[in-house]
Chain A
């Protein structure tokens, strides 16, 4: 599913004195198969944008198509497809483990499935739940546990399984690693890559504040500021604009900072900003001049 936004505009509390323009003329294409990073400071419109992607916020101005669904079309026939849309575009909110509510892990994940497929048999539910749990790397022995008895990282995986259970093609995650310890964070990112790599989920969209994380993980990036997209493209094209990125209060990955510092003393390093590539390029430079 390709996602295309054209001049998408949204105002909170329209026609009141609290009106806030959250999105202004946002145009962006997210290709199927990308691992897309959405960055921007707090209040820049990132969350408002992603909430448009599965119709939580209806399109009020501009265009948005997700796959073959035109969300700007207000005809009843399109509205009828919202359920299908929501099963295809899975949305994982910030701190999704706060939404866990059922008595067991199984029931929590099953809730998501039954919601979309109310006429499914117990056997189908079981298959879907087991499949979703294995996708997030949780073993079956936790299915009868209370989700509240799991660790922070595990709880978050259960919450993500509850979204994956409807078999989405696009998985949108709002700051998926916030609040996790370093191991939990690394495991979760690895899990997202394996879902993406195996084709279980075709497109992954993450909202992140961490430039190093975006640089190491994403194929494409869009930078939001004050409701607009200021840059988008490959990470290396975005992080090359270190002056503007610093101006936007976002900064660049540590490798970007180092490349700038080296440039100041006349050492030109052309890297894609990933740590691995950076180390190689520096080593090449060092060997050449030694």
Chain B
């Protein structure tokens, strides 16, 4: 049996001293400045930062849509500057953009989802299985034979995610993919991606402006002005209020409510980030007496 066991945890993505700017050499505005970042295989990373801080540029550097002006980006050890690697890199690093209209190809949902696996030469029977799986995972089975153009924004976005996971990528990059969804749709998408992360070890990079989404990640990276300002677990990151404020972010709503309650004199513990944690602390406090 050709069973292969990976013992060392491999780095899924490595940015080494990456500088990048759009435009010609003489008029170039630096977007990324000597950025170094490592993303471990199997991790779920939230990439945060203001509009224009370089998050989407990072995403596009990972799958070789852009290549660095200086430094290197490697995906499972493959250099994105080497054109021979691009097919393999894009097969292994799927991307879902903010606006699903930018990445839909076929007019019927199942054909659209099939496009990715067909493109990389997956056998027909396997494609069928993958379509079933991807549609089920994203809750879009009922639209299987619908026209993509007739779906709502949130429905289209779930189809786009189905298209990306049908390729069975090792890395999934969500570039603000949930911003057009309603709260439940957003939660569903994150749950789907989380399950793929846990069950298949798929590495996830979630670029988002939603702090409640970031709290669910294993790790948070904050970008600002083309550099990484902070990297750590959600509790480490959100404990550093000065960095949160300085990088134009905010605390998750439950943390802000906890702050307001503390200001009113309630003895709540530090580090509350989720509504479940806040509810637990509040119930304990108010029941005790």
Contact = CB atoms under 8 A, between A and B. Distances in A.
Contacts of A116: none
B209 A180 contact: yes
Interface residues of A, number: 48
Contacts, number: 130
Contacts of A141: none
Nearest to A246: B184
B279 A184 contact: no
A63 to B, nearest CB: 26
Nearest to A280: B264
A261 B280 CA distance: 9
A265 interface: yes
A62 interface: no
A152 B51 contact: yes
B286 A254 contact: no
Question: Quick one: which of A95, A251, A254, A276 has the most chain B CB within 10 A?
Answer: A254
A182 to B, nearest CB: 4
A276 B147 CA distance: 46
B237 interface: no
A253 B252 CA distance: 12
B254 A254 contact: yes
B27 to A, nearest CB: 13
A222 to B, nearest CB: 15
Nearest to A175: B180
A267 interface: yes
Interface string B65-82: 000000000000000000
Interface string B163-182: 00000000000001001111
Given A180-B209, A249-B182, A258-B275, A282 B266 contact: yes
Contacts of B261: 279, 282-283
A249 B99 CA distance: 22
A285 B266 CA distance: 11
B239 interface: no
B211 interface: yes
A183 to B, nearest CB: 4
A4 interface: no
Contact of A255 (B49, B257, B283): B257
Contacts of A43: 151-152, 154-155
Interface of B: 49-52, 98-99, 147, 150-155, 176, 179-185, 209, 211, 248-250, 253-254, 256-257, 260-261, 263-266, 275, 278-279, 282-283, 285-287, 289
Given A183-B249, A257-B279, A286-B285, 10 more contacts: A43-B155, A153-B51, A178-B180, A181-B50, A181-B209, A184-B51, A249-B183, A262-B286, A276-B260, A283-B264
17 contacts: A41-B154, A41-B184, A95-B99, A151-B51, A179-B98, A181-B49, A182-B248, A183-B50, A184-B51, A211-B183, A258-B279, A265-B287, A267-B283, A276-B260, A278-B257, A279-B257, A283-B261
Interface of A: 18, 20, 40-43, 94-95, 151-153, 178-186, 209-212, 249-251, 253-255, 257-258, 261-262, 265, 267, 275-276, 278-280, 282-283, 285-287, 289-290
